[in-house]
Amino acid sequence: MSNQSNQTRIAIVVGSTRPERLGETVARWVYERAVEGGGAEYELVDARDFDLPAVTEVPAAVETYAEPATRVWAEKVASFDGFVFVTAEYNHGVPGALKTAIDVIYKEWGHKAAGFVGYGVDGGVRAVEQLRQVMGNIRIADVSVALGLSLFTDFVDLTTFQPAARHESMLKLLLADLLPWASALRGVRATP
């Protein structure tokens, strides 16, 4: 299923599925600011809600999804024009659940746009850089502005999210870059 409306649709993707994760709070903050700014239809999409299989599918480029959860995920991803990936940095990399969510499908990502909000000891920068490499392969145009949130300065006691005020303006810049790309790439997807 693809987006048939004229409204640009952006998913705010929560990439961590750990029980004590911080990503849900960060994603909700991103979502609320995005909705306030307007310009698109936004939806929180939590990888945890999809119970995606790990390595039980044939290669995703084959586009034959055997698992029901994969088919539901593919339909959800197909409905968006762009994504803001909210990612933790675990062991200098992308959370396994987010990588699985990306890898288990293929064509549904193509010719869309993405931005990144990372969080971790160093602001999630290594996870974001790894995601940038992956985006090129799945045909997603990623915007240069990214938001990095530090566990030490943007979370009280490493748990309660209280972002520095400057992050609001960076998020606005990220969305200002993302929305035109997401909209423009709809035309690319419409070309046979």
| Tens of pLDDT, residues 84-124 | 999 999 999 999 999 999 999 999 999 999 999 999 999 99
Give dist(CA 85, CA 115) in Å, integer: 6
Q: Are 48 and 19 spatial neighbours (Cβ–Cβ below 8 Å)?
A: no
119 by DSSP, 3-state: which?
strand
Domains of the chain: 9-190 (3.40.50.360)
Structure tokens, 80? 């968006």
Note if the pTM is more than 0.85: yes
Give dist(CA 4, CA 17) in Å, integer: 30
Give dist(CA 51, CA 45) in Å, integer: 13
Of 180, 174, 188, give the one whose Cα is nearest residue 84: 174
Question: pLDDT exceeding 70 applies to what percent of the chain?
Answer: 92
* H/E element, 74: helix 68-78
Residue 6: is its pLDDT beyond 80?
Answer: yes
Between the CA of residue 40 and those of 6, 35, 176, what are the distances in Å? 10, 8, 11
In tens, the pLDDT along 37-85 reads 999 999 999 988 988 877 665 566 666 787 888 889 999 999 999 999 9
- pLDDT recorded at residue 60: 63
